[in-house]
């Protein structure tokens, strides 16, 4: 867990030159793969950190009870552990989605093709040195907020905490 914590100390902005060079050598500049790999790499450590606390909070007795009832290890994970850590899964999904959705500097560096730029990078093109398109900027900002609102609305019912309360006597 210390190594996971250490990786959180590096900002994608401070590593963007090295990331660009590696993706350039691999021929992945101007591809969605480069953005996906970068966001996955930087958000994975945070998701692991969040989920570690939730998984550690599941009592060992609950797993043992499932095994005594005849569950296999994968069955225990699917039927017992995952439902108990659902709030942690939802929390990590929300935070990693928002972090990836709001990524600007890495996407600006790795993608130069206008057709492949993410929305966060594309919004900045509405304000130039000579002209500002405020109506289009505000419309694009609304479009940028809608997926986050939809995500919260669809998974907010899974955020109920304390699912393990009373599961062990």
How far apart are the C-alpha atoms of 24 and 33, rounded to whole Å?
Answer: 12
pLDDT grade, residue 159 (50/70/90)? Answer: low
Residue 162 dihedral angles phi and psi, to the nearest 5°: 75, 35
Q: What is the pLDDT of residue 158?
A: 67
Residue of 98, 81, 8, 12 whose CA lies nearest to 49: 8
pLDDT tens digit sequence for 29-85: 999 999 999 999 889 888 998 899 889 988 999 999 999 999 999 999 999 999 988
More confident residue, 12 or 136: 136
pLDDT grade, residue 132 (50/70/90)? Answer: confident
pLDDT grade, residue 166 (50/70/90)? Answer: very low
pLDDT tens digit sequence for 1-26: 788 777 777 777 888 999 999 999 99
| pTM of this structure | 0.77
Average pLDDT (137-151) is 90
- Helix then strand count (H, E) for the chain reads 10, 0
pLDDT grade, residue 168 (50/70/90)? Answer: low
What dihedral angle (degrees, nearest 10) is formed by the CA atoms of 88, 89, 91, 97? 160
How far apart are the C-alpha atoms of 143 and 138, rounded to whole Å?
Answer: 9
Tokens of 152: 């919260």
Q: What is the pLDDT of residue 130?
A: 86
How far apart are the C-alpha atoms of 144 and 125, rounded to whole Å?
Answer: 14
Cα end-to-end span (Å), the chain: 30
More confident residue, 10 or 166: 10
């Amino acid at each position: 867990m210390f190594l996971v914590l250490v990786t959180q100390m590096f900002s994608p902005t401070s590593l963007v030159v090295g990331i660009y060079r590696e993706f350039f050598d691999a021929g992945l500049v101007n591809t969605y793969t480069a953005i996906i790999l970068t966001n996955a790499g930087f958000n994975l450590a945070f998701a692991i950190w969040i989920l570690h606390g939730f998984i550690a909070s599941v009592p060992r007795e609950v797993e043992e009870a499932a095994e005594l009832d005849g569950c296999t290890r994968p069955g225990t994970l699917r039927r017992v552990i995952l439902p108990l850590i659902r709030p942690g899964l939802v929390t990590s999904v929300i935070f990693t989605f928002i972090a990836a959705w709001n990524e600007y500097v890495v996407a600006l560096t790795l993608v130069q093709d206008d057709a492949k730029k993410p929305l966060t990078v594309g919004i900045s093109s509405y304000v130039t040195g000579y002209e500002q398109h405020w109506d289009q900027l505000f419309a694009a900002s609304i479009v940028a907020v809608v997926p986050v609102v939809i995500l919260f609305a669809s998974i907010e019912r899974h955020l109920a905490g304390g699912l393990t309360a009373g599961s062990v006597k």
